[in-house]
Amino acid sequence: MKTNSISKPYFIRINTTLQQVIFVLLLFLCLFPVISPPIALLLGLVVGNLSGHPFLHLNHKATNILLQVSVVGLGFGMNVHSAVSAGKEGFLFTIGSIIATITLGSLLGKWFKVQKKTSHLISCGTAICGGSAIAAIAPVIKSNEKETSVALGVIFILNSIALFVFPIIGHWLQLSQTDFGMWCAIAIHDTSSVVGAASKYGTEALQVATTVKLARALWIVPVALITAVVFKNKTGKVKIPYFIGLFILAMICNTYFSPVAIATPYLVSIAKIGLTVTLFLIGAGLNSSVLKSVGLLPLLQGVLLWISIAVGTLVAIMSFS
């Protein structure tokens, strides 16, 4: 009888049934508070590279839906007035950092001779909101699967590092909750890692980071429209992040409707579990084949761009706080 073994180059080769059992058990473990977002990401990375992700074909869709639902759930734990205050404070940082990041990314891409579309996707992913920005910009510039995959690979690798590194640096520099939340929102690519890092730092940091990051995500639309002009594409469709509207509605409900406020602790707890599961799935999707497909030059572009925006933003925040 033929054994259904895993043909991909994972470190441990096991039959499909055992692979699925291990994966589901670890996924179930992420439903409990003992597993923090960074640990969930690490578990995903370990299982994804040791035994593999048995449901990889569903991963992108699952993480996308889970992340959006979780972010909306977090909105039920936030106050409109505090969110507006945080959004106003981060507005100038957002505009300046987006322009600087895309400009510097373009220069680095030319310097390293990275393919133009890949370079632009990496720049937009770093400037706005990681994978969501890449997913929105890719059809506008008509990038092929490899160009999009390389850009996503770069962003996801750096996201994973940021989730662990940023809280350590924040505590080392003794950043306030507000300053750390602002830094996370601007300098970490993907919303999942922004929320994960900020939640580990504190409640106020989480509120600031989530609000500023989602306000930043709205810049996908103007950046995509400008991109369409630059790449001379009149037919490219822009994916608008509609779930941000639901996030705002959740905040309004929590602020002005007391019956909703009673359920807030439960909704926020469920949302945080959803975020933890999302990070586990993202980690599980980063197997060795994804890492190898990225290539050295696009990774160098992404790393230098990310370090530049992270350091520049941190200096600006500490100077003006």
pLDDT at residue 23 in the model: 92
In contact, 215 and 90? CB cutoff 8 Å: yes
Gap between the Cα atoms of 314 and 186, Å rounded:
9
In contact, 155 and 285? CB cutoff 8 Å: no
pLDDT at residue 106 in the model: 93
CB atoms within 10 A of CB 135: 19
Residues in a beta bridge with 15: 5
What single-letter DSSP state applies at residue 5?
B
Gap between the Cα atoms of 65 and 310, Å rounded:
28
CB atoms within 10 A of CB 113: 10
* Secondary-structure breakdown of the chain: helix, strand, coil percentages, each rounded to the nearest 5: 80, 0, 20
> Alpha-carbon torsion 107, 210, 68, 288, what sign?
positive
User: Running along the chain, 321 residues long, what does each successive block of 10 average in pLDDT?
Assistant: 43 73 92 87 86 84 85 83 71 85 94 91 90 82 81 86 92 94 91 89 89 84 84 66 81 84 86 88 79 81 94 89 68
pLDDT at residue 14 in the model: 66
SS3 string, 108-142, reads HHHHHCCCHHHHHHHHHHHHCCCHHHHHHHHHHHC
In contact, 63 and 285? CB cutoff 8 Å: yes
The domain spans of the chain are 58-285+296-320
Gap between the Cα atoms of 67 and 70, Å rounded:
5
* Cα Rg of the chain (Å, integer): 19
pLDDT at residue 3 in the model: 38
